Amino acid sequence: MRFMLFMHPNTDVIGEDWEGPSADDVAEMGKFNEELTQAGVLLAVDGLHPPTEGARVRRTDGKVAVTDGPFAEAKEVVGGYWTIDVKSKEDAVEWASRCPLSEGDMIEVRRVYEMSDFPEDVQAAAELSQEPPEQTAAR
């Protein structure tokens, strides 16, 4: 099963004047990523720039509105994510528990949908919405 671990750093600590992670923090996190790699479960890992540099695109009353950061109501902020492939939710939770979190940091563990998770009629609908399969050159 594929899971995404979303890192929500403690926003009390990471405020406007925050200057990014220390060398020690980075080294600690590097060790954790190395563990995931050595275990063969890590598919992807990315850290995100702060939301102040981001934007939000929202649809309201049929219109698309774009807001640039910083966002007033940002209580929880995704700081980065891991994509891992493990055998169960418990495995994903166990890996998340091993992450070197600072006080107040939180990781949200979410399972990634895979085609086989859908009932057959949904799979068939996905199939129909695609182009008809290409035929071999001779046909």
Partner 1 sequence: MARADAHRAIDAIWRIESARLIAGLARMVRDVGLAEDLAQDALVRALETWPESGVPDNPGAWLMATAKHRAVDRLRRNVNLERKQEQLGRDVGAQLALSAAELAIAREEDLGDDLLPLMFTCCHPVLSTKARIALTLRLLGGLTTEEIARAVLVSGPTAAQRIVRAKKTLAQARVPFEVPGREELGDRLASVLEVLYLVFNEGYSATAGDDWMRPALSREALRLGRVLAALMPGEPEVHGLVGLMEIQASRIGARTSPAGEPVLLLEQDRARWDPLLVRRGLAALAQAEALGGTLRPYALQAAIAACHARARTPEATDWTRIATLYGALSQLSPSPVVELNRAVAVGMALGPAAGLELVDALADEPSLQGYHLLPSVRGDLLAKLGRISEARREFERAAALTENARERRLLSERAVACTD
Contacting residues toward partner 1, per CB under 8 A: 37-44, 83, 85-88, 90-91, 93-95, 114-116, 120, 123-124, 127, 130-131, 133-139
* Eight-state DSSP code of residue 130: S
From the CB of 4, what's the least distance to partner 1, in Å? 11
**Cβ within 8 Å of residue 22, ≥6 positions away:** none
SS3 (DSSP) at 56: strand
- The CA distance from 86 to 40, in Å, is 9
Closest approach, Cβ 115 to partner 1, in A, equals 5
Nearer to partner 1 (CB atom), residue 94 or residue 108: 94
Quote the tokens at residue 50: 């702060």
Nearer to partner 1, 56 or 89 (CB): 89
d(CA 43, CA 57): 28
Kindly state the smallest distance separating residue 13's Cβ from partner 1, in Å.
23
The residues, any chain, with a CB within 8 Å of residue 31's CB and separated by 6 or more, are: 100
The answer to whether the CB of 63 falls within 8 A of the CB of 131 is no
CB of 18 to partner 1, least distance (A): 28
Q: Which is nearer to partner 1, 57 or 115 (CB)?
A: 115
Nearer to partner 1 by Cβ, of 16 and 134: the residue is 134
